[in-house]
Chain A
Amino acid sequence: MLEIKNLHVKLEEEEKQILKGVDLKVDSGKVHAIMGPNGSGKSTLSYVLSGRDGYEVTDGAASLDGNDLLDMEPEERAAAGLFLAFQYPVEIPGVGNMTFLRTAVNAQRKARGEEELSAADFLKIVRERAKSLKINADMLKRPVNVGFSGGEKKRNEILQMAMLEPKMCILDETDSGLDVDAMKLVAEGVNALRDEGRGFLVITHYQRLLDHIKPDVVHIMADGRIVKTGGPELALEVENNGYADILAEVQ
């Protein structure tokens, strides 16, 4: 599924190396978590994988099902099955949430050579999936993320994920800015999408999200590299002792 090899990334505008050789492999049906202190390169990894401007890959490779991700435009990566749930979902005044969702779903179907969903079919599916995420009709009508609370924005990300049915989902600090109830709701949404054919990469600072989305593998990232990999117990270790011990241990 997702395979990252020796990925080196620097900022395009300045000589600052952020990723210094990341190796990672996420198989279908698995949930991997990446934890790490601020500035370790977690978010950069998610942006580079999804194709955001401003980064330069200086070495290494990343592929999804054998297709070179780094060679594709962001929309091509999405159509190939990659999805990034943003840490800060973007507000887009003037574009209705429903229009946005339908445009995205149909653009991906078109790119894959599938038939576009009719308005009626789309509406049926979106209503059903929105309901389980407690997204009401008003939120679907409003402009994308405009005036949404932090929790509503994150639920809207999960709704997009549910509608686009990606193969590989990257969740970038989806728990940030959420209260406990909102986090549970988001985690339930994610868990409902767990599937044999789908992989997850969950980026988080805290173990508490992983109480709700149980990972198969936990990685610790520091200074642009993955420094330790283990099972769910690794997350508990971080929760109890902080990163300092682990970092001291690997240095």
Chain B
Amino acid sequence: MALPEIKQTATEARLATLELPTAGCTKPAREAAIARVREMGLPDRRDEYWKYTRPDTLVQAEGTKAALFDNDEPLMFDQIDRLKIVFVDGIFDAEASDDLSLEGVKIERLEDICCTDIHWAKDLYGVLETRGHDPVPRPLAALNTAFAADGVAIHVTGKPSKPISLIYVHKDEASDAFLHHIVRVESGAEATILENGPAAARFNKCMEIDIADGGTLHHVRSQGRDHERRAVTHMFTRLGSESVYKSFTLTVNGVLTRNEQVIEILGDDAVAHVAGACVGDGDFHHDDTVFITHDAVNCESRQVFKKVLRNGATGVFQGKILVKAGAQKTDGYQISQSLLLDDDSQFLAKPELEIYADDVACSHGSTSGAIDDTALFYLRSRGVPQEVATDLLTLAFLAEAVEEIEDEDLSADIVSRLESWLSRRR
């Protein structure tokens, strides 16, 4: 079906600003991705999937500038022993990065593997993204596959001793960056991937994750604090049997963030958890869009999303669990909640279940509310000042999401980040 003319014009205008990187072995995938973008067209306001989030600033040919955030807060994950891989405005910075060798994992820059003939990357780059358009197109992910200038391929074959930390530095106020990472976790292997930083004024990131039978991947991300930044991210994850995927995202500020998680559970007895905590103030729009497909027996999925909003901030949650016929004994849980600290903020939620198997347990809930007056009075009656009590209750509200992080050092770091946001915004 031909695209509406207005959408076609906008899509071509965006494509005209982008150049295909020296593509090597990903060249066919990139060319196919451009064709997908042309077929789907880039999103606009009329698309149902973008009903609550305006995509125009993510799509338009020219990005808008974003001022750099500057204060003396310690850097995220600073106390964690990790392998650092640094990107500045979306380009790998070898000098700032650690040596990429680590036992149990092979990390290569996409650019470096492009010339070799046979590489696992070929079977993954753009592959999960392509699968992720059914039933809803995600053209910004295809755009990423086509034009990502940089990224890494992470091949986990053992149990690396420390997390692999992707650090996204934003230095240019006008940067417009695409990053695309691919991750393959082999059978029985286990790793933790960290991501943090604002990355760019406008950032489009895609990560494709393939977890083989019995593999485990932990993912903890903290999206940057630069208030004016815009970001759209896609995580495509495919799970084999008895594999585990646990992802947590913290979002503190950013004028626009759309995080999409697309998860396909294809092997029996697998577990997928995605969680997010976001705190937004004022001109802040945060969208979590999640699509989990159960296509195997006896699998568990959890979605836990919490948003604290004030001064007119907006939160969006679109979450779906699709249980295919035959995916018996599925245990699906989905909760999305917002704490609205004033009357000007809003939370828009669209929780969905679509179930074709008859022996499943799926639950979903979504709430919006203010601080509990009774609890607030109880704390104050014990001498806790109102502001401190409000902060305590705010952190308590976010706790269910933060508790999804298994590693205590990482979750403590996330909590300290939330505390500093609360004190800064007080």
Q: Which residues of A contact B (CB under 8 A)?
A: 50-53, 73-75, 77-79, 83-84, 86, 89-90, 92-95, 99-100, 103-105, 107-108, 111, 143, 160, 164
Contact = CB atoms under 8 A, between A and B. Distances in A.
A78 to B, nearest CB: 4
A146 to B, nearest CB: 10
B396 interface: yes
Nearest to B403: A94
B400 interface: yes
Contacts of A104: 379, 382-384
A86 B378 contact: yes
Interface string B377-398: 1111111111011001101111
Given A75-B386, A103-B379, 7 more contacts: A73-B385, A75-B385, A78-B382, A90-B378, A92-B378, A103-B384, A107-B382
B383 A79 contact: yes
Nearest to B402: A94
A78 B377 CA distance: 11
A141 to B, nearest CB: 14
Contact of A107 (B374, B377, B385, B400): B385
A101 to B, nearest CB: 8
A78 B380 contact: yes
A203 to B, nearest CB: 15
B392 A95 contact: yes
Contact of A100 (B377, B379, B397): B379
A89 B377 CA distance: 11
A51 B383 contact: no
B377 A53 contact: yes
B412 interface: no
Contact of A74 (B377, B392, B397, B400): B377
Contacts of A84: 381
Contacts of A52: 377, 381
B375 interface: yes
Contacts, number: 81
B90 to A, nearest CB: 37
Nearest to A93: B396
B383 A107 contact: yes
24 contacts: A52-B381, A53-B373, A53-B377, A74-B380, A75-B381, A75-B383, A78-B383, A79-B383, A89-B378, A90-B374, A90-B375, A92-B393, A92-B396, A94-B393, A94-B395, A94-B399, A100-B379, A100-B392, A103-B388, A107-B382, A107-B384, A108-B383, A111-B383, A143-B396
B381 to A, nearest CB: 5
A52 to B, nearest CB: 5
A73 B386 contact: yes
Nearest to B380: A74
A139 B294 CA distance: 39
A237 to B, nearest CB: 33
A23 to B, nearest CB: 24
Interface of B: 373-375, 377-386, 388-389, 392-393, 395-400
A84 to B, nearest CB: 6
Contacts of B378: 86, 89-90, 92
Contacts of B377: 51-53, 74, 90
Contacts of B373: 53
A39 B398 CA distance: 39
Contacts of B388: 103, 107
B404 to A, nearest CB: 13
A53 B386 CA distance: 13
The 8 closest A-B pairs by CB, nearest first: A94-B396, A78-B383, A108-B383, A94-B399, A104-B382, A74-B380, A90-B378, A95-B396
A164 B396 CA distance: 23
B219 to A, nearest CB: 23
Given A90-B374, A103-B388, A51 B381 contact: yes
Contacts of A51: 377, 380-381
A79 B385 CA distance: 10
Contacts of A103: 379, 384, 388, 392
Contacts of B381: 50-52, 74-75, 77-78, 83-84, 86
A51 B392 CA distance: 20
Among the interface residues A74, A93, A100, A108, which one has the most CB atoms of the partner chain B within 10 A? A74
A79 B382 CA distance: 8
Given A103-B388, A103-B392, A92 B383 contact: no
A108 B388 CA distance: 12
A250 B404 CA distance: 62
A181 to B, nearest CB: 26
A88 B210 CA distance: 51
B134 to A, nearest CB: 38
A90 B385 CA distance: 17
B380 A94 contact: no
B386 to A, nearest CB: 7
Contacts of B392: 95, 99-100, 103
B84 to A, nearest CB: 32
A5 B213 CA distance: 75
Nearest to A82: B381
A73 B380 CA distance: 8
Contacts of A164: 382-383
Contacts of B384: 75, 103-104, 107
B371 to A, nearest CB: 11
Contact of A160 (B382, B385, B389, B400): B382
Contacts of A108: 382-383
Contacts of A74: 377, 380-381
A13 to B, nearest CB: 13
A248 to B, nearest CB: 37
B380 A75 contact: yes
A94 B398 CA distance: 8
Among the interface residues B375, B380, B386, B399, which one has the most CB atoms of the partner chain A within 10 A? B380
